[in-house]
Structure 1
Amino acid sequence: MKQHNVVIVHGVRNWRPGVAPAKAAAELADRWAVPLAAGYRTAGLGHVPPPRVHAAYYADLINDDEAQSVVDDIDDLAPAEQELLLSWLHSLGLPQEPPEGQSWATMPPRHALSWFAQRSGMSARVLARVAIALLPEVYSYLASPARRENARRAVAEVIGDSGAKVVVSHSLGSIVTYEALHAHPLPHVELLVTLGSPLGLPGGVFEMLDPAPTGGRGVRPPGLSRWVNIADRGDLVAIPRRLGNRFDVDDHFEDHIAAVDFHTLDSYLTCGLVATAVAPYLS
């Protein structure tokens, strides 16, 4: 039954080269059904059958032949990606200008990342790993109108075909889903759950959203009965964590979800907060 369906929209690092999109989506759906079922048990809902999971797969559409190849080193980021890196670091607490009176923009990206890591007590290796995983795909999506529309349409089609009332979106997927629900309105969607979302990231994401924010606030997708945002307190991608400061979010939850895998979709699905949010809409 369609009311028992949930669509999950993936974040970065889910591209499966050489795998047909339909097969990639089916494999992701099967994989995510396991931690979601675990999340039902964590939430004390083990007696409730978990929903059927549909995966909205768009990674192939933003990793086309024109997209930048996989980056292995922080200094290999393209200039525009380096700007996005600085915006992200500034949001985490990097001062606008280095104490030496120079400009971060004229230095190799590694300098800004290392400087911030040393003074914040964070691991430079972890920061670099997150940046390399996140920024190229975020930029690939935001910078190309064609990729952007293709990804939005692909997500909207899966949601529409499934008839699901509930959409769960993770990381970059929350940006794609947010824009898809505006570009291709789907009245049957009642609940949006965003996980580890960078929707409000200033200087590189928030200002580039479509539709554009008005009065410093993002426009809520039409027709939603409820919007729930969930962020691990240590999630370096969910910046700012309280999306309600920039969007009309109905409920925001923060918790220590995972000590190491603080941004993975599996960790979010397992924690129980997602199950608690979606279960009332999947009767």
Structure 2
Amino acid sequence: MVDVVGIHGISQQQGGRLQVLEPWRLALGDGIERARGRVFPKPSMDLVYYGDLFLSDSDSKGGQDDLELDSDAIAFFAAIQDEVVHEDEPDTRMSKGMKGVPPRLGKLANWVEQRFGVAGRLLFFGDLVQVRRYQSDDDLANAVHDRIREALADRPYIMVGHSLGSVVAYEALCTIPDHGITTLVTIGSPLGLRSLRERLRPAARRPGPPPGVETWVNIYDSRDPVALAGPLQPYWSAVVDRVVDNGNEPHAATRYLGKLATGATIADSLTVA
């Protein structure tokens, strides 16, 4: 039996389950120590790895200067632009060019850069390109969910989803019956974006948490460009939002996992179990 299962975010195409799992396990252990001290038992942990399923999309990773957007992706980002950018926002030039961002999305690119910097803009577009692909490709989503089912065979009861992994976790728990997860922790989640929520699959379009989930805690850094829409409680009333400060790496999974807020949530769930 495993206590906690994690679901990673973007840009893990060249990695593997064990490579991603070890930093997560260590960071979560630090978060639990911050919350409960050194003697509190550390949970067993597994990780759902699916990055290799995006290998054909490797040119659209976060942190890259090249971005390939098809018409559907452009429409997706245009909807986000209409959602978050005021119509009077000036359409100025970006400080550093990013291939593949069409003029139609100039206001969005500039708005994100002004608030989160050049690195934040690259991360924002790179992350949400893969979110959009996951949402639009049912075969890809089914393959990811198959790997989640494999991990659920070890009967974890706590699930942690980072970034795109938070979208994957939420949809999977709404889709897979008898999953056994009672605590869901989302970190650095873009689920606050209406444009993304409207593209959730039918089973995930629900006002409450996924069936069987008793506790849902959402943890975000207000300077995280992927979580720029902020809290989730306005859209799912059962969610408990927590704000943290991840320093100079606001979207890093290990920064989120090492926080007291994350450790306390996991420790409380371990105690209940």
TM-score category of the 2 structures, normalised to the smaller one: 0.7 to 0.9
Question: Which of residues 262, 270, 273 in structure 2 aligns to 1:282?
Answer: 270
Q: Give the alignment of 1:1-283 within 5 angstroms.
A: 2=1, 5-16=3-14, 24-61=16-53, 63-65=54-56, 67=57, 69-70=59-60, 72-73=64-65, 76-91=68-83, 93-96=84-87, 108=103, 111-113=106-108, 115-116=110-111, 121-158=114-151, 160-203=152-195, 205-211=196-202, 218-255=207-244, 257-283=245-271
Aligned partners of 1:35, 1:127: CA distance in 2, in Å? 23
Aligned partners of 1:53, 1:192: CA distance in 2, in Å? 14
Q: Identity percentage over the alignment?
A: 25
Q: Structure 1 residues 99 and 212, CA, compared in 2 at 3 Å: closer, same or farther?
A: farther
In the TM superposition, residue 148 of structure 1 has moved relative to its aligned partner by: 1.2
Aligned partners of 1:200, 1:178: CA distance in 2, in Å? 13
- Secondary structure of 1:146 counterpart: helix
In the TM superposition, residue 277 of structure 1 has moved relative to its aligned partner by: 0.3
Partner amino acid, structure 2, of 1:8: G
CA offsets, 1:64-95, max 9 Å, x none? 54x4733643664333323333344444x412
Q: Structure 1 residues 131 and 114, CA, compared in 2 at 3 Å: closer, same or farther?
A: closer
Q: Structure 1 residues 114 and 25, CA, compared in 2 at 3 Å: closer, same or farther?
A: closer
- Secondary structure of 2:59 counterpart: coil
Partner amino acid, structure 1, of 2:11: R
- Secondary structure of 2:106 counterpart: helix
In the TM superposition, residue 181 of structure 1 has moved relative to its aligned partner by: 0.9
RMSD across aligned C-alpha pairs, in angstroms? Answer: 2.7
Q: Is the 8 A contact 1:171 1:197 kept in 2?
A: yes
Aligned partners of 2:69, 2:49: CA distance in 1, in Å? 25
Partner amino acid, structure 1, of 2:6: I
CA offsets, 1:110-148, max 9 Å, x none? 632454257xx4355134211342122112211111111
In the TM superposition, residue 248 of structure 1 has moved relative to its aligned partner by: 3.4
- Secondary structure of 1:248 counterpart: coil
Aligned partners of 1:68, 1:144: CA distance in 2, in Å? 16
Q: Structure 1 residues 186 and 208, CA, compared in 2 at 3 Å: closer, same or farther?
A: same
Aligned partners of 2:167, 2:10: CA distance in 1, in Å? 11
Partner amino acid, structure 1, of 2:149: A
Aligned partners of 2:39, 2:231: CA distance in 1, in Å? 32
Partner amino acid, structure 2, of 1:253: R
CA offsets, 1:7-33, max 9 Å, x none? 0110111122xx6xxxx1122222211
Q: Which moved more, 1:166-175 or 1:106-115?
A: 106-115
Q: Is the 8 A contact 1:190 1:226 kept in 2?
A: yes
Q: Which runs of 5+ in 2 are unaligned?
A: 92-100
Q: Structure 1 residues 259 and 153, CA, compared in 2 at 3 Å: closer, same or farther?
A: same
- Aligned match of 1:103: none
- Secondary structure of 2:185 counterpart: strand
- Secondary structure of 2:115 counterpart: coil
- Secondary structure of 1:163 counterpart: coil
Q: Is the 8 A contact 1:40 1:50 kept in 2?
A: yes
Q: Structure 1 residues 110 and 31, CA, compared in 2 at 3 Å: closer, same or farther?
A: same
Partner amino acid, structure 2, of 1:234: R
After TM superposition, the score normalised by the length of structure 2 is 0.84
Aligned partners of 2:106, 2:208: CA distance in 1, in Å? 36
Aligned partners of 1:42, 1:35: CA distance in 2, in Å? 11
Q: Is the 8 A contact 1:212 1:218 kept in 2?
A: no
